């Protein structure tokens, strides 16, 4: 089973041309499940719906309850922003969580839960987008605490591991990522831990997802870093959901257009017990 997470950079930059490049990358990847952040909706059109239709997938979209700060950045009061899921299988349940944040950095960030129903089992799949302020590690720790509790509430009775994707806006050794993983420090929910899928990457594989090779990133002064994650809880019986490999995608131009300011992360998981 192929899982992708990708921040699509909303309607910043040459967004109409970028949309074509995003679709081209996803078509090439042929994913089974995709977690998306900074997804737009405007004037009755939804980016998630369009992508799902083009890819022959099911979809779910959760708009931000407070998009005003985002809208001011592009000068358009009509465009929504949110998280989305694309799925090869039907989405049979959906819930959202507004992540906690103080007023000075609160721009309506969410976690989206979807239950994906395959012929063999349900998959509890989540995607999220944490606060981006560099100084806000403590805020992100509060957000991953709420996220971990939200995940536990929606775990359900299924043999497939929980999958949590998203733009955490945090370095791999940060307090917030360690806290969410729950195996380098006490987990938020007793007994609930997650592996960072990138631990299964080839040691010399390019890792940064916020990459200064990308011209949208190079325009700023921040260093390159990996801030986008696929987290998977321990495998089920017979290795169900085990991470078999992971890599970047969308990390170069498509017909001269970079699809987003983030690279995507792609993980292949075992979708049947071994043996």
- pLDDT tens by residue, 104-145: 999 999 999 999 999 999 999 999 999 999 999 999 999 999
pLDDT single digits (tens) 92-107 = 999 999 999 999 999 9
pLDDT single digits (tens) 65-75 = 999 999 999 99
For residue 275, what pLDDT band results from cuts at 50, 70 and 90? low
- The more confident residue out of 273 and 63 is 63
pTM, entire model: 0.97
What structural domains does the chain harbor?
A: 2-269 (3.60.10.10)
pLDDT single digits (tens) 164-181 = 999 999 999 999 999 999
pLDDT single digits (tens) 253-269 = 999 999 999 999 999 99
Mean pLDDT of the chain: 97
pLDDT for the residue numbered 273: 79
Mean pLDDT of 211-221: 94
Mean pLDDT of 18-23: 98
Distance set, CA 18 to CA 45, 148, 182 (Å): 16, 33, 36
């Amino acid at each position: 089973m192929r899982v992708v997470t990708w921040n699509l950079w909303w309607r910043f930059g040459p967004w109409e041309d970028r949309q074509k490049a995003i679709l081209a990358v996803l078509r090439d990847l042929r994913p089974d499940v995709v977690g998306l952040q900074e997804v737009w909706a405007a004037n009755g059109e939804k980016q998630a719906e369009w992508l799902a239709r083009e890819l022959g997938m099911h979809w779910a979209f959760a708009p931000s309850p407070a998009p005003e700060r985002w809208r001011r950045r592009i000068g358009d009061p009509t465009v929504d922003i949110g998280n989305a899921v694309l799925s090869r299988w039907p989405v049979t349940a959906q819930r959202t969580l507004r992540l906690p944040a103080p007023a000075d950095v609160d721009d309506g960030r969410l976690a989206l839960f979807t239950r994906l129903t395959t012929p063999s089992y349900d998959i509890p799949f989540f995607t999220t987008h944490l606060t981006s302020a560099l100084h806000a590690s403590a805020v992100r720790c509060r957000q991953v605490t709420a996220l971990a509790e939200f995940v536990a509430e929606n775990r359900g009775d299924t043999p497939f591991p929980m999958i949590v994707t998203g733009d955490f806006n945090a370095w791999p050794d940060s307090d917030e990522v360690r806290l969410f993983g729950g195996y380098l420090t006490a987990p938020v929910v007793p007994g609930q831990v997650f592996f960072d899928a990138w631990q299964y990457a080839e040691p010399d594989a390019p890792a940064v997802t916020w990459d200064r090779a990308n011209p949208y990133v190079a325009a700023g002064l921040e260093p390159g870093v990996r801030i986008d994650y696929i987290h998977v809880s321990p495998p089920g019986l017979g290795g169900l959901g085990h991470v078999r490999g992971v890599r970047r995608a969308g990390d170069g131009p498509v017909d001269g257009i970079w699809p987003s300011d983030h690279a995507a992360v792609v993980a292949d998981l075992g979708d049947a017990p071994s043996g």
